[in-house]
Amino acid sequence: EVQLLESGGGLVQPGGSLRLSCAASGFTFGSYAMSWVRQAPGKGLEWVSVISGSGSTTYYADSVKGRFTISRDNSKNTLYLQMNSLRAEDMAVYYCAKMEGKQLVQWYFHFWGQGTLVTVSS
Amino acid sequence: QTVVTQEPSFSVSPGGTVTLTCGLSSGSVSTSYYPSWYQQTPGQAPRTLIYSTNTRSSGVPDRFSGSILENKAALTITGAQADDESDYYCALHMGSGFWVFGGGTKLTVL
């Protein structure tokens, strides 16, 4: 059974940093791309970042480029999101998602974790 | 800036059929965007319904179907049930590893 468990969320001041983790189980982690998707309170979904199975390729939404870094440790079956220079508009539930699809253009968000809440406030 | 458009809200009667759409603020949606659809109930993680325009994800009932209609991606629910009352989001792959979600449609079944 596929499981994704996010952790690391919490309260952080504007300008601060936080690292999210997503522990994966039930599938061959290193064979799948992974993404982070966020949802601000009462708002819709926003794609944040994606990383290939090997970790060699990453992409970011313009809203987080240069501030967030996605990474993974395939030996630990864990996905990360390092968030720096946090802003009020980064406050959201952050979901990790297992990607599926034969090639990049066909990837879609196949399975979602339950999310972790990041609150940015002074 | 690319905006993916969805109806903010929709209502359907139990047993009825409803089609939600997913368009672009500029241009047409085609299968090349590999549209996907997600269902989310309040407080829960999204659930994948449809990918690559019209392929149902595992375990999704066949009353959910996807297509391209009049230059938009479409999600049709046939024989709506009470537990279909949810928020529905589409996502388009804009190329080069960049996805955009629509604003979501709140579906009411009554």
Nearest to A59 among B47, B98, B102 (CB): B98
Looking at chain B, the whole-number percentage of residues with pLDDT higher than 70 is 100
Tell whether the model's pLDDT for residue B2 goes beyond 90.
no
Q: Does B5 touch chain A (CB under 8 A)?
A: no
Nearest to A44 among B36, B89, B98 (CB): B89
* pLDDT tens, residue by residue, A59-71: 999 999 999 999 9
Give the pLDDT mean for B68-97: 95
Taking residue A102's Cβ as centre, other Cβ atoms within 10 Å add up to 8
Task: Tell me the chain B residues in contact with residue A114 when contact means C-beta distances shorter than 8 Å.
Answer: 45
pLDDT at position A104 is 85
pLDDT at position A3 is 97
pLDDT at position A102 is 85
Q: What's the gap between Cα A38 and its chain centre?
A: 8
pLDDT at position A103 is 83
Question: In DSSP terms, which residues pair with B17 in a beta bridge?
Answer: B78
Task: Tell me the chain A residues in contact with residue B56 when contact means C-beta distances shorter than 8 Å.
Answer: none
**B8-67 residues touching A, CB cutoff 8 A:** 32, 34, 36, 38, 40, 45-48, 51-52, 57
Structure confidence at residue B32 as a pLDDT band (50, 70, 90): very high
Spans of chain A, pLDDT less than 50: none
- A-B CB pairs within 8 A amount to 68
Give the pLDDT mean for B63-75: 97
pLDDT at position B40 is 98
Task: Tell me the chain A residues in contact with residue B32 when contact means C-beta distances shorter than 8 Å.
Answer: 105
Judged on CB neighbours under 10 Å (0-12, 13-18, 19+), B90 is buried
pLDDT at position A42 is 95
Sign of the CA dihedral running A30, A112, A46, A85? negative
* pLDDT tens, residue by residue, B84-107: 999 999 999 998 889 999 999 999
- Per the listing, tokens 């406030």 go with A121
